[in-house]
Amino acid sequence: MKIVIIGGVAGGASAAARARRLDEKAEIVVLERGEHPSFANCGLPYYVGGKIQSRDKLLVAPVKMLRDRLRLDVRTRSEAIRIDREAHQVQVRNLDTGQETSESYDKLIIATGASPFRPPIPGVDGSRVLALRDLKDADRMHAMATSGSKRAVILGAGFIGIEIAENLVRRGIAVTILELADQILPPWDREMIGPIDAHMRQQGVDIRLGLSVESFEETPTGLRVQLTSGETLDADFAAVCIGVRPESKLAAEAGIVCGARGGIQTTANMQTNDPDIYAVGDVVEVECFVSKTPVQIPLAGPANRQGRIAADHIYGRNSKYRGTQGTAIVGVFEKTAAMTGLSEKILQRIGTPYEKVYIHPADHAGYYPGAEGMTLKLIFDPSTGKVLGAQGVGSKGVDKRIDIVAMAIQAGMTVDDLEEVELCYAPQYGHAKDPINMAGFVASGVVRGDQPIVHADASLAESQANHFLLDVRSEAEFASGHIPAATNVPLESLRERIAELPRDRRIIAYCKVGQRGYLATRILMQHGFDVANLSGGYTSWLAANPSPTT
Amino acid sequence: MKIVIIGGVAGGASAAARARRLDEKAEIVVLERGEHPSFANCGLPYYVGGKIQSRDKLLVAPVKMLRDRLRLDVRTRSEAIRIDREAHQVQVRNLDTGQETSESYDKLIIATGASPFRPPIPGVDGSRVLALRDLKDADRMHAMATSGSKRAVILGAGFIGIEIAENLVRRGIAVTILELADQILPPWDREMIGPIDAHMRQQGVDIRLGLSVESFEETPTGLRVQLTSGETLDADFAAVCIGVRPESKLAAEAGIVCGARGGIQTTANMQTNDPDIYAVGDVVEVECFVSKTPVQIPLAGPANRQGRIAADHIYGRNSKYRGTQGTAIVGVFEKTAAMTGLSEKILQRIGTPYEKVYIHPADHAGYYPGAEGMTLKLIFDPSTGKVLGAQGVGSKGVDKRIDIVAMAIQAGMTVDDLEEVELCYAPQYGHAKDPINMAGFVASGVVRGDQPIVHADASLAESQANHFLLDVRSEAEFASGHIPAATNVPLESLRERIAELPRDRRIIAYCKVGQRGYLATRILMQHGFDVANLSGGYTSWLAANPSPTT
Ligand SMILES: Cc1cc2nc3c(=O)[nH]c(=O)nc-3n(C[C@H](O)[C@H](O)[C@H](O)COP(=O)(O)OP(=O)(O)OC[C@H]3O[C@@H](n4cnc5c(N)ncnc54)[C@H](O)[C@@H]3O)c2cc1C
Ligand SMILES: Cc1cc2nc3c(=O)[nH]c(=O)nc-3n(C[C@H](O)[C@H](O)[C@H](O)COP(=O)(O)OP(=O)(O)OC[C@H]3O[C@@H](n4cnc5c(N)ncnc54)[C@H](O)[C@@H]3O)c2cc1C
Ligand SMILES: CC(C)(COP(=O)(O)OP(=O)(O)OC[C@H]1O[C@@H](n2cnc3c(N)ncnc32)[C@H](O)[C@@H]1OP(=O)(O)O)[C@@H](O)C(=O)NCCC(=O)NCCS
Ligand SMILES: CC(C)(COP(=O)(O)OP(=O)(O)OC[C@H]1O[C@@H](n2cnc3c(N)ncnc32)[C@H](O)[C@@H]1OP(=O)(O)O)[C@@H](O)C(=O)NCCC(=O)NCCS
C-alpha cells in the first residue's frame, strides 16, 4: 500500500501517523510545501507576542521524529501541483530546486487546509500587510512586532484577529481592530460578546465596528490605511484576518467535487467522489452536527480526528466523522469566550425555532473566595427541549461549562437531562447546583410553561406601551440603575403590594440576573396575572442595551 | 396543602423552596434543630482554616430571606422527635424552651441528613474530640484552631478529613492523619491517589495508614491518642471523620423502610413506603446510576436535586431521580482529585468485568506556557466499551475532564463516543485532541484489540519470569530509572534491532506514559510478536510501585 498525503500538519500528519500504526509496511509519503510539518498553528499568535518564547516549541513533531518513530517519508518544501486521478499520480514541485517529479499513490489524502482570505483591496499584497497561517507568516509578524513597530491595524475581529491583537498589545504595540460586522467574534451572538469587547477596549485596543478598509498604501515610514468611513489610519503594519478559504483548487482541478463554499465534499468516512482520494481538515466541507447542513468550520480538533478516520477507512475500518458541532473557544487578556452548537443568529438564518435562557452564575460557590462571574446562554428546541447550542463568556470555568454542553449536544440530551446531570462539586470548583444544572432548571421551566420569559431585545422595546415593567430588586439596586419606565416593587414585599399591579397589561418582571424575577413570576402567575420574566434580568438587559438611559 | 419538612439545609430547604414556587398557597413548615437553615456545610472546613473569613458567608439563605422571599415557616432550634403517620403529625421539641408541640402535615419530607460516625472508642465523647458537620461543630473547631493549638490528630482520610487537614495546616497546626485503609481518600483507587498523598506529606502532613485509634484520653494540657499500633500521640485536639450515618432513626421508628446501611428507601420520585412521606438527601439510600445497586453517597448535589424532585412529586409531577453516579472532587494544597462512576475496587467487589487505561496528559497544549500534568484513569466495559468510571488527579483541568466523563456516563456513552467528542480547544485551555479524546482513542484501541495492554499491578510482577520487559524510551531516560529487569531498545531503533527480541515469550513494552509503548506494540504485533503495552508506562508503574529499586 502506498499512501500519499498532501499537507503535513494537523489533518495530514494525523492521517499519516494513524496509517503507520495500522500498517507497518505501508509506504507513506507526506508532501508539505512549508519548511516544517506538524507545527502548532494555534500557537502562532502567542509566538508573535512572546508568550511562547522559543520558536522550536511550535514544532510539535519535527521531521526527524516523524521519520524515526513513524517512518514517514516526509518531504518538506514539496508542493503538490497536480493530481492525475487516472494515472494515480501527484505532480510535485520541489520548492528549493524548482524540479518537478511525479509520485504514484494507491490512496491519496488531501489535507491542504485553508488559506487566509485576502480581499481584493488595493495594496493588500504589500509587504506590510500580513496574514497569519504558517511559520513563515509568524516569522514575518514576529519580526515586525519586535523591530520597533508602534501601531498596527488588524482587519477582522474573528478569533485569530483577537488573538493577534492581544499579542501585539503584549509587545506594547497600539492596536486598532476593524470589523465589518457590528460585533467582534462574529460566530458568537452579539449580546454575549459585550464583556469581551469592553475588556479589550479597557486594555487599550481600539475596536471599530461596521467598517472596513478601502485601500492600503505603503508610505516611506509605514502603511496608510484608508477606511470605508473616510478616515485614514497610519500604522507600521496590518494583519488581515477575515477568515479562511479551503485550499481546494488542486482537488477541484482534478474533478474532486467541492461544495458551494469551496470545501471538498466527502462521505462520513472522509472519502471524496474518487474512492481512492480522501480529504480531511480545513479543506473539507462538513456537516453541522446539529443542523445537518453543510458548513466550513476550520478547527484543529476536527482536522486531527478526520485524518485518523481517513486512515482507518483506507484500512477497511468503518470509522465515521459525526459532523462538526462548532465547539470553539478564545481567550483574550484573561477573559474567555466559548461556544458549542448553533448560535442564535445561525438558527434565525436557517429558520429553526428555538428558545434561549441566560444565566449569570459564578464559576464556583460564592461563599468561597475568588468566585468570578460568567454569563451562559443556553439555546434549545422550545417544544422538545433538545439542546441546540450554548455560549459562555467570563474568566474561569467557562471552558468547562461549554465542554459539558458540548457533551450534552453530542449525546442528544434535552434541557431536562441537564437538570439532572451530576457534576463535580466542592466549593473551589463549582456549585451544589452547577451552572449547568441551573441552566437546565431554568430552560426546563420555560419549556414546561412554569416560567414564561421575554428577552431584552428589540421586541421588548417595541412592546413597551403594552406591558408593565416590574423591577423586583431592592430599592437600593433600583436606585443605582434600572430599565426606563420600570416600577420598583421589591420581591420581599410583592405579595403585600400585589394590588398595585395592573391586570390589564402583561407584567414583565425582572431582577438582577433572573432568579428573583422568576420568583415574582411564579407568585404573579398563581395570582392570575399575565406575567413573564426577563431572562437574565437587568444584567442581560444591560448587555443588550450597552448605553442605557436610566 | 400543608407540607412539613424535617431538616432545613441542602435537601430540605431545596424542597421547601421548590414547593413554594409550585404552590404560592401551601403552608410550608421547615423544622431545623440547628440555629440556622441553609448553611454551607461544604464550606465549614474553609471557615475553620480561615480561607473563608466571615462566618456569615456560610449562611447561604438566612431565615429572613427564606421568610421574606419564599414565605417559608422556618423554625430553627426545633427538633422533630416523633412521626405519627396515622395522625399525620410530627412531634416537635423546641430546643430553647424544651416545650413539645405537634405539627400536622398533609405531606412530610424527611431531610435529616447524616451524622458523623463516632466509633465506640474510649474517650471519643471527650470535649477535645471533635467532628465537623454543622455550624456548631465548626465554631468549636474554629475556636480550637485559633486558640493556640499546635497539634491535631485527624481520624479518617476521607474527603472531609483531608479538607480539615489542609485547613489546620493553614492555621499553622501540625497535623497527623490516621487512616485504617492502606490509602488516603478511600473512594479513589489506591494507585491514583499517590500524588495527593505525597503532596500532602510535602506540605508537612503526617499521614499514617493502616492504623486507627484505640483510645482518646484527656490530659491536663490536651489529648493523648493511643494508636492501634501501640504508639501514643499527644495533640491539642482530634477530629473524627470516618464517614457518616443516615439520620434515619426518627423515620425507622415510624415504620419507614430503611436499607441495610440505614438509609431510607424511596422510589425514584423520592417517596417512601408511606405515600405521604418523602425522604431526600444524605438520609436516603440511592441507586448507583452505573451499577444499579443500592448505595449511600452523601453529597450536596444529589441532596439538592432530590429535594426538588420530592416537591415536584407532591404536586403531581413525575420528576425522577436517576440515581447517584458518585461524581466527587476534593482539593488539597492546590491539587485536585476527582472521580465519577465506579472505581476499580467497587467493580471488583461487585464482580463486574472491566478494563482500564491510564493516560498522563497535560491540562493544555505543551507548547503554551504553564501546562501541568495530570493522570486520568478511564474504566470501561471490556466488550462493549461502555464507560463505567473515571478518576483524575492533578492540578488544573482535572475537574473539567471528570465532568466531561460524568456527562458521558449520564448519556450511556462508550469509549468510541469519547474518541469523537468535540471539546473546546485553544492552547491555553486544552488540546486539539483533548485528554478525553485521547483516553477514548486508547481505550477503543484496547477494546478493538489494536492495543493489548497490561497493568503495573501484582500480576505483572508475578508473570515476570514469563515475559520480556522492553523499555522503548531513550537511553538517557532508561539510565535515569527503569523497571527492574527491563531491556532498553529505544523506539527509534526498534525496527532495526527487532531481531534482538525474543519470540518465545510475551513482550511487555513500556515508555514514559504509554504512547511510545503503544507504537512499539503496533510494530511488534505486525511482526508477529506476542506483545502488550504497559498502560500508563513507567509513570503508572511508579504510581503502583512507589519505592522502586531501579
Ligand atoms: C493563527 C491560527 C490560530 C489558530 N488557533 C486555533 C485554535 O485555537 N483552535 C483551533 O481549533 N484551531 C485553531 N486554528 C485552526 C487550525 O490550526 C486548523 O483548523 C488546522 O490546522 C487545520 O488543519 P489542516 O491539516 O486541515 O490544515 P493545516 O494545518 O493548515 O495544514 C495544511 C498544510 O498543507 C500544506 N499545503 C497546502 N497545499 C499544499 C500543496 N499543494 N502541497 C503541499 N503542501 C500543501 C500547507 O502548507 C499546510 O502546512 C488556528 C489557525 C491559525 C492559522
Ligand atoms: C464538612 C463537610 C464538607 C462537605 N463538603 C462537601 C463537598 O465539597 N461536596 C459535596 O457534594 N458535599 C459535601 N458535603 C456533604 C453535603 O454537605 C451533604 O451531602 C448535604 O448537606 C446533605 O444534605 P441534607 O439536606 O441531606 O443534609 P444536611 O445538609 O446535613 O441537613 C440536614 C439537617 O437536618 C437537621 N436535622 C436532622 N435531624 C433533625 C430533626 N430530627 N429535627 C430537625 N432537624 C433535624 C440537621 O440539623 C441538619 O441541619 C460536606 C459535608 C460536610 C459536613
Ligand atoms: C503530532 C502529530 C503528527 C501526532 O499525530 P498522532 O500520532 O496521531 O497523535 P498523538 O501524538 O496525539 O497520539 C495519538 C495516538 O497515540 C495513542 N496514545 C496516546 N497516548 C497514549 C497512551 N498514554 N497510551 C497508549 N496510547 C496512547 C492514541 O491512542 C493515538 O493512537 P491511535 O490513533 O492509533 O488510537 C499530529 O497531531 C500533528 O501534526 N499535530 C500538530 C499540528 C496540529 O495539530 N496543529 C493544530 C493544533 S495547534
Ligand atoms: C439556598 C436554598 C434554599 C436555595 O434553594 P432553591 O431556591 O431551590 O435554589 P436556588 O437558589 O439555587 O435557585 C434555583 C431556582 O431558581 C431558578 N433560577 C435560578 N437562576 C435563575 C435565573 N437566572 N433565571 C430564572 N430562574 C432562575 C431555578 O430555575 C430554580 O427554580 P426551579 O427549581 O423552580 O426550577 C438551598 O439551595 C440551600 O439551602 N442551600 C444551602 C445548603 C446546601 O446546599 N448545602 C450543601 C452545599 S454547601
Give chain B's count of helices (H) and strands (E): 17, 30
The residue behind cell 484608508 is A226
| Sheet containing strand B223-227, strands side by side | B213-218, B223-227, B232-235
Q: How far apart are CA B374 and CA B372, in angstroms?
A: 7
Q: How far apart are CA B450 and CA B473, in angstroms?
A: 21
Nearest to B423 by CA among B361, B370, B375, B380: B361
Chain B interface includes A233 (CB < 8 A): no
Q: Which residues pair with B59 in a beta bridge?
A: B39
Q: How far apart are CA A309 and CA B416, in angstroms?
A: 12
CA-based torsion, A409, A412, A418, A423: positive or negative:
negative
Asked whether A123 and A222 are in contact (CB, 8 A), the reply is no
Chain A interface includes B62 (CB < 8 A): no
Nearest ligand, CA of residue B264? Answer: 2
A-chain residues within 8 Å CB-CB of B70?
A: 519
Nearest to A328 by CA among A137, A11, A13, A42: A42
Q: How far apart are CA A120 and CA A370, in angstroms?
A: 49
| CA nearest ligand 4 atom 14, residue | A438
Q: What does chain A come to in residues?
A: 550
Determine the distance separating the centroid of ligand 3 and the alpha carbon of A17, expressed in angstroms: 8
Phi, psi of B216 (to 5 degrees): -115, 135
Mean pLDDT of chain A: 97
Chain A interface includes B287 (CB < 8 A): no
pLDDT band at A464; cut points 50, 70, 90: confident
Which amino acid belongs to residue A330? V
B42 noted as active-site residue: yes
Asked whether B308 and B12 are in contact (CB, 8 A), the reply is no
Choose, out of A170, A367, A376, the residue to mutate when testing the contact with B (most B CBs < 10 Å): A367
Nearest to A249 by CA among A113, A66, A369: A113
Asked whether A388 and A354 are in contact (CB, 8 A), the reply is yes
pLDDT tens digits, A259-274:
999 999 999 999 999 9
The C-alpha cell that represents B470 in the structure block? 522492553
Q: Within a 10 A sphere around the Cβ of A249, how many other Cβ atoms? A: 14
Determine the distance separating the centroid of ligand 4 and the alpha carbon of B17, expressed in angstroms: 8
Q: Do B406 and A420 touch (CB under 8 A)?
A: no
Nearest to B169 by CA among B401, B334, B43: B334
Q: How far apart are CA A126 and CA A122, in angstroms?
A: 9
Chain B interface includes A52 (CB < 8 A): yes
The C-alpha cell that represents B215 in the structure block? 483510645
pLDDT band at A548; cut points 50, 70, 90: very low
Q: Give me the pLDDT at residue B464, please.
A: 82
pLDDT tens digits, B87-121:
999 999 999 999 999 999 999 999 999 999 999 99
Q: Give me the pLDDT at residue B550, please.
A: 34
Asked whether A524 and A501 are in contact (CB, 8 A), the reply is yes
- How far A484 CA lies from chain B's nearest CA (Å)? 25
Q: How far apart are CA A519 and CA A513, in angstroms?
A: 12
Nearest to B154 by CA among B87, B90, B223, B88: B223
Q: How far apart are CA B518 and CA B524, in angstroms?
A: 10
Q: Give me the pLDDT at residue B546, please.
A: 79
Which B residues, 483 through 542, put their C-beta within 8 Å of a C-beta on chain A? 491-492, 495, 516, 518-519, 522-523, 526-527
Q: Give me the pLDDT at residue B549, please.
A: 38
Asked whether B193 and B179 are in contact (CB, 8 A), the reply is no
Choose, out of A423, A441, A521, the residue to mutate when testing the contact with B (most B CBs < 10 Å): A423
Determine the distance separating the centroid of ligand 1 and the alpha carbon of A135, expressed in angstroms: 11
Q: How far apart are CA B209 and CA B219, in angstroms?
A: 25
Q: How far apart are CA B167 and CA B47, in angstroms?
A: 8
Q: Which residues pair with B294 in a beta bridge?
A: B287
Q: How far apart are CA B537 and CA A529, in angstroms?
A: 66
Which A residues, 103 through 132, put their C-beta within 8 Å of a C-beta on chain B? none
HSE, CB side, 13 Å, CA atoms: give it for residue B372.
10
Q: Taking 70 as the threshold, does the pLDDT of residue A550 lie above it?
A: no
- How far A20 CA lies from chain B's nearest CA (Å)? 9
Nearest ligand, CA of residue A512? Answer: 4
Residue B173 CB less than 6 A away from ligand 4: no
Q: Which residues pair with A103 in a beta bridge?
A: A90
Q: How far apart are CA A224 and CA A8, in angstroms?
A: 37
Is ipTM strictly over 0.95? yes
Residue A522 CB less than 6 A away from ligand 4: no
List pocket residues of ligand 1, CB cut-off 6 Å: A 6-7, 9-12, 31-34, 41-42, 44-45, 79-80, 111-113, 132-134, 160, 247, 250, 281-283, 298-301, 303; B 425-426
Determine the distance separating the centroid of ligand 2 and the alpha carbon of A434, expressed in angstroms: 18
DSSP E strands, B85-162: 89-94, 100-104, 107-110, 114-116, 129-130, 151-155
Nearest to A507 by CA among A546, A472, A478, A481: A472
**Mutation test residue for ligand 2: of B29, B95, B299, B305, the one with most atoms within 8 Å of CB:** B299
Closest chain A residue to B407 measured between Cα atoms? Answer: A407
Q: How far apart are CA A408 and CA B527, in angstroms?
A: 42
Determine the distance separating the centroid of ligand 2 and the alpha carbon of B110, expressed in angstroms: 12
Q: Give me the pLDDT at residue B407, please.
A: 98
CA distances from residue A322 to A269, A306, A307, B418, B522 in whole angstroms, order as listed: 9, 10, 13, 12, 27
Give percent helix, percent strand, percent coil of chain B, each to the nearest 5.
30, 25, 40
pLDDT tens digits, A267-302:
999 999 999 999 999 999 999 999 999 999 999 999
**Pick from A10, A46, A308: which is nearest to B427 by CB?**
A46
Q: Give me the pLDDT at residue B425, please.
A: 98
- How far A63 CA lies from chain B's nearest CA (Å)? 13
Determine the distance separating the centroid of ligand 4 and the alpha carbon of B107, expressed in angstroms: 21
Q: How far apart are CA B524 and CA A206, in angstroms?
A: 58
| CA nearest ligand 1 atom 38, residue | A112
Q: Quick check: helix, strand or coil at residue A506?
A: strand
pLDDT tens digits, A186-237:
999 999 999 999 999 999 999 999 999 999 999 999 999 999 999 999 999 9
CA-based torsion, A357, A358, A363, A364: positive or negative:
negative
pLDDT tens digits, A309-334:
999 999 999 999 999 999 999 999 99
DSSP E strands, A24-138: 27-31, 73-75, 78-84, 89-94, 100-104, 107-110, 114-116, 129-130
**Mutation test residue for ligand 1: of A30, A91, A92, A112, the one with most atoms within 8 Å of CB:** A112
Q: Do A516 and B425 touch (CB under 8 A)?
A: no
Asked whether A226 and A215 are in contact (CB, 8 A), the reply is yes
Q: Do A403 and B408 touch (CB under 8 A)?
A: no
B-chain residues within 8 Å CB-CB of A519?
A: 21, 69-70
How far, in whole angstroms, is CA B290 from its chain's centroid?
15
Task: Show the domains of chain A with their CATH numbers.
Answer: 2-114+245-315 (3.50.50.60), 129-242 (3.50.50.60), 334-448 (3.50.50.60), 453-544 (3.40.250.10)
Asked whether B41 and B59 are in contact (CB, 8 A), the reply is no
CA distances from residue B139 to A481, B167, B449 in whole angstroms, order as listed: 39, 14, 57
Which amino acid belongs to residue A117? F
Give percent helix, percent strand, percent coil of chain A, each to the nearest 5.
30, 25, 40
What is the percent of chain A with per-residue pLDDT over 70, rounded to a whole number? 99
Q: How far apart are CA B464 and CA B155, in angstroms?
A: 39
Determine the distance separating the centroid of ligand 1 and the alpha carbon of A112, expressed in angstroms: 8
DSSP 8-class letter at B258: B
pLDDT tens digits, A339-389:
999 999 999 999 999 999 999 999 999 999 999 999 999 999 999 999 999
Asked whether B67 and B31 are in contact (CB, 8 A), the reply is no
Q: What kind and span of H or E run contains A417? A: helix A415-420
Q: How far apart are CA A350 and CA A352, in angstroms?
A: 6
Asked whether A398 and A195 are in contact (CB, 8 A), the reply is no
Asked whether B409 and B377 are in contact (CB, 8 A), the reply is no
Residues in contact with B276: Cβ distance below 8 Å, sequence separation at least 6, in sequence order = B85, B88, B105, B106, B107, B108
B-chain residues within 8 Å CB-CB of A327?
A: 422-425
Q: Taking 80 as the threshold, does the pLDDT of residue A549 lie above it?
A: no
The C-alpha cell that represents A391 in the structure block? 455560549
- Nearest-atom index, ligand 4, CA of B308: 33
Q: How far apart are CA A87 and CA A89, in angstroms?
A: 5
Phi-psi region of B38 (alpha: psi -120 to 50; beta: other; left: phi over 0): left
Q: Which residues pair with B379 in a beta bridge?
A: B356, B389
B-chain residues within 8 Å CB-CB of A523?
A: 24
Residues in contact with A140: Cβ distance below 8 Å, sequence separation at least 6, in sequence order = A130
- Note the maximum CA span of chain A: 89
Predicted TM-score (pTM) of the model is 0.98
Which A residues, 184 through 203, put their C-beta within 8 Å of a C-beta on chain B? none
Q: Do B403 and A424 touch (CB under 8 A)?
A: yes
Q: How far apart are CA A490 and CA B69, in angstroms?
A: 10
Below-70 pLDDT ranges, chain B: 547-550
Q: Give me the pLDDT at residue A463, please.
A: 83
